[in-house]
Structure 1
Amino acid sequence: MFTGIVEELGEVVHVEQLHEAARLAVRGKVVAVDARHGESIAVNGVCLTVVDVDGDVFTADVMKETLNRSCLGVLQRGSRVNLERAVRADQRMGGHIVQGHVDGTGVILTREPAQHWEIVRLSLPKELNRYVVEKGSITVDGVSLTVAAIDDQSFAVSLIPATLGLTTLGLKQPGDPVNLEVDIIAKYVEKLVVRS
């Protein structure tokens, strides 16, 4: 489990294409310092299992299902990525409950800079719309955000300078794809209500 509070901007140092899979090598000085084989690290919001650690670089395998459902397949050497280690039970829960299980992908549609923040509008797949509400939580490329506005095909978030400076969301431009994870609580509530 994660919180959606990105610990650092990492960098992809190698991508190895395998049969229906890929192996990513990612530099992350903060997250790799105590990483061990089998632990989880979220890369752009996707929970990956650490296969190996060599100094400040960790390696993780990405299966076909993950490549198909996320934007990890577009990563290449030099790509910047949001990194977060799995939350410990004794940590503060700064964001919201994030599983690292991407529900779909969206695209950045527009960016509106303001003096103290930036409003970013993103496309929203129709099948995810019912789980997203104004002032609710959503994860975009692993970043826990509050939905500022929503319509049938898109939603908007307001990004503060810290988010713009410390995550890939400050680097992404209109047309760039992003990973989306909706609030897990909304999916559980739907299942319980539908069964009743």
Structure 2
Amino acid sequence: MILFISAIILSISTSIDYLLLLILLFSKVKNRGDKQHIYLGQLLASFILIVSSFIISQFANLLPSEWMIGLLGIFPILLGVRILFESEEDVQISDKTIGVLSVLLLSLASGADNLGIFSPYFTTLTMPEFIVTAVIILLGTTVICFIADAFGSLSPISEFLEKYERIILPLVFVLLGVYILIEFGTLNYLLAFFH
């Protein structure tokens, strides 16, 4: 019972930061196929983060320096800058083509902090406990996607996001990237390195 409760808490605490990002993504798409791409990309990212964290927990000496993990923050920054400078036509086209790979990469970059949370926790688990925990995390990811899909589909929210997406979307991506760079000490490391 304690395993289930701790796995649920772990799932919620590591998935909640995806909520705004997922709401933004879901508000940009209307057809079922693109929504499935978002679900699949997010679930694949969670699966990769879980497996990577498990491997790191088993071979702690493979853990790269924290600042290296923070380099993943560059991806959302570049994506935000690209969206900011795209023409209106390009944005409309990209609205229709949110793919599994783009969601996967964005979710991996924004979920880099999960490595630091999952890895130490997984060192305390037996293999059956790890499997149960992984399943609960993936179920939690699905629930977060469902909630984001529901909010992104609400007319007032989707209308607001559609009206201001040219500002909100790049801002969220850039701030997310900067947060990742700061959280992992990457920004400080790079500033010291180039100073």
Return the TM-score normalized by structure 2: 0.25
Larger radius of gyration: 2
Q: Which has the higher helix share?
A: 2
Q: Which has the higher strand share?
A: 1
Q: Identify the structure with bigger relative contact order (alpha carbons < 8 Å, sequence gap 6+).
A: 2
